[in-house]
Structure 1
Amino acid sequence: MGMVDTLCTHLHQNNGSVENSLSKVKPKLDSQCVIEVLNSCHPKQPLLGVRFFVWAGFQSGYRHSAYTYSKACKLFGIQQNAQIIRDLVLSYEAEGCLVNVNMFREVLKLCKEAQLADVALWVLRKMEQSFNIGADTVMYNVVIRLCCKNGDIETAEKLIGEMSLNDLYPDLITYMAIVEGLCDVGRPEHAYSLLKVMRVHRCSTNLVLLSVILNGLCRSGSMEMALELLDEMEKGGDCRPNVVSYTSVIQSFCKRGQWTKALDILDRMKASGCHANHVTVFTLVDSLCVEGRVGEAYKLIDKFVVEHGVSYGDCCSSLVISLIRIKKLDEAMKLFMEMLSGDARPDTLASSLVLKELCMKDRVLDGFYLLEAIENKGCLSAIDSDIYSILLFGLCQRSHLTKATKLAKIMLKKSVPLQSPYKEGAIDVLIESGEKDLVNHLTGIRKGL
Structure 2
Amino acid sequence: MLACELVVRGFGLTVHFQVFELLREQLWYRPYPGIYVKLIAMLGKCKQPEKARELFEAMIDEGCASTRESYTALVSAYGRSGLFEKAFSLLEEMKGTADCYPDVQTYSILIKSCLQAFAFEKVQVLLSDMAASGIRPNVVTYNTLIDSYGKAKMFMEMEATLVQMLSEQNCAPDVWTMNSAMRAFGGSGQIEMMEKCYDKFQSSGIEPNIKTFNILLDSYGKAGEYQKMSAVMEYMQKYHYSWTIVTYNVVIDAFGRAGDLKQMEYMFRLMQTEKIKPSCVTLCSLVRAYGQAGRPEKIGGVLRFIENSDTMLDTVFFNCLVDVYGKMGCFAEMKEVLELMEEKGCKPDAITYRTMLKAYKDRGMSSHVKQVLELLRSVEVSRMPRKKPDF
Q: Could you list the structure 1 runs, at least 4 aligned residues long, displaced by more than 6 angstroms after superposition.
A: 30-34, 36-39, 129-133, 317-320
CA distance in 2 between counterparts of 1:312 and 1:419 reads 25
Structure 2 counterparts to residues 27-426 of structure 1, below 5 A: 35=21, 58=33, 62-70=34-42, 79=49, 102-103=66-67, 105-114=69-78, 115=80, 116-128=83-95, 134-188=101-155, 190-201=157-168, 202-235=170-203, 237=205, 239-270=206-237, 274=241, 276=243, 279-294=246-261, 297=263, 324-327=290-293, 329=295, 332=298, 352-354=302-304, 382=309, 421=343
Q: Say if 1:112 and 1:142, in contact at 8 Å, map to a contact too.
A: yes
Label 1:281 to 1:158 Cα distance change in 2 as closer, same or farther (>3 A): same
Runs of 5+ in structure 2 lacking a partner? 1-15, 26-30, 314-339, 346-391
Q: Which SS does the other structure have where 2:134 is aligned?
A: coil
Label 1:332 to 1:179 Cα distance change in 2 as closer, same or farther (>3 A): same
- Write the deviation string for residues 362-401 of structure 1: whole angstroms up to 9, x where unpaired: xxxxxxxxx9xxxxxxxx5x46599xxxxxxxxxxxxxxx
CA distance in 2 between counterparts of 1:250 and 1:225 reads 15
| TM-score, structure 1 as length reference | 0.48
CA distance in 2 between counterparts of 1:165 and 1:419 reads 56
* Structure 1 position 149, deviation (Å): 2.4
CA distance in 1 between counterparts of 2:44 and 2:100 reads 25
Q: Say if 1:128 and 1:135, in contact at 8 Å, map to a contact too.
A: yes
* Structure 1 position 222, deviation (Å): 2.9
Aligned residues between the structures: 283
Q: Which residue of 1 aligns with 2:359?
A: none
CA distance in 1 between counterparts of 2:311 and 2:240 reads 35
Q: Which residue of 2 aligns with 1:24?
A: none
Q: Say if 2:145 and 2:158, in contact at 8 Å, map to a contact too.
A: yes
- Write the deviation string for residues 347-374 of structure 1: whole angstroms up to 9, x where unpaired: xxx9653457xxxxxxxxxxxxxx9xxx
Label 1:355 to 1:329 Cα distance change in 2 as closer, same or farther (>3 A): farther
Q: Say if 2:146 and 2:162, in contact at 8 Å, map to a contact too.
A: no
- Write the deviation string for residues 8-34 of structure 1: whole angstroms up to 9, x where unpaired: xxxxxxxxxxxxxxxxxxxxxx98797
Label 1:384 to 1:185 Cα distance change in 2 as closer, same or farther (>3 A): closer
Label 1:420 to 1:220 Cα distance change in 2 as closer, same or farther (>3 A): closer
CA distance in 1 between counterparts of 2:45 and 2:233 reads 47
Q: Which SS does the other structure have where 1:112 is aligned?
A: helix
| TM-score, structure 2 as length reference | 0.54
* Structure 1 position 179, deviation (Å): 2.6
- Write the deviation string for residues 67-95 of structure 1: whole angstroms up to 9, x where unpaired: 35445998xx963699x79xx8xxx9xxx
- Write the deviation string for residues 241-260 of structure 1: whole angstroms up to 9, x where unpaired: 22332222222222232333
Q: Say if 2:44 and 2:76, in contact at 8 Å, map to a contact too.
A: no
Label 1:352 to 1:107 Cα distance change in 2 as closer, same or farther (>3 A): same
* Structure 1 position 203, deviation (Å): 0.8
Q: Which SS does the other structure have where 2:110 is aligned?
A: helix
CA distance in 2 between counterparts of 1:419 and 1:311 reads 26
* Structure 1 position 269, deviation (Å): 4.3
CA distance in 1 between counterparts of 2:75 and 2:181 reads 27
* Structure 1 position 172, deviation (Å): 2.1
CA distance in 1 between counterparts of 2:344 and 2:76 reads 45
Question: Match for 2:199: what amino acid?
Answer: D
- Write the deviation string for residues 287-318 of structure 1: whole angstroms up to 9, x where unpaired: 344344446x37x95xx89xxxx569579x98
* Structure 1 position 178, deviation (Å): 1.9
CA distance in 2 between counterparts of 1:228 and 1:189 reads 16
State the percentage of identical aligned residues. Answer: 14
Question: Match for 2:194: what amino acid?
Answer: A
Q: Say if 1:218 and 1:226, in contact at 8 Å, map to a contact too.
A: yes
CA distance in 2 between counterparts of 1:422 and 1:268 reads 41
Runs of 5+ in structure 1 lacking a partner? 1-29, 40-55, 93-98, 334-349, 357-370, 372-379, 387-417, 424-449
CA distance in 1 between counterparts of 2:241 and 2:19 reads 50
Q: Say if 2:216 and 2:232, in contact at 8 Å, map to a contact too.
A: yes
* Structure 1 position 170, deviation (Å): 1.0
Q: Say if 2:248 and 2:271, in contact at 8 Å, map to a contact too.
A: no
CA distance in 1 between counterparts of 2:273 and 2:259 reads 22
CA distance in 2 between counterparts of 1:73 and 1:221 reads 34
CA distance in 2 between counterparts of 1:285 and 1:110 reads 43
CA distance in 2 between counterparts of 1:119 and 1:254 reads 44
CA distance in 1 between counterparts of 2:185 and 2:272 reads 32
* Structure 1 position 112, deviation (Å): 0.9
CA distance in 2 between counterparts of 1:103 and 1:385 reads 42
Question: Match for 2:111: what amino acid?
Answer: I
Q: Which SS does the other structure have where 1:283 is aligned?
A: helix
Label 1:78 to 1:260 Cα distance change in 2 as closer, same or farther (>3 A): closer
Q: Which SS does the other structure have where 2:49 is aligned?
A: coil
CA distance in 2 between counterparts of 1:323 and 1:197 reads 44
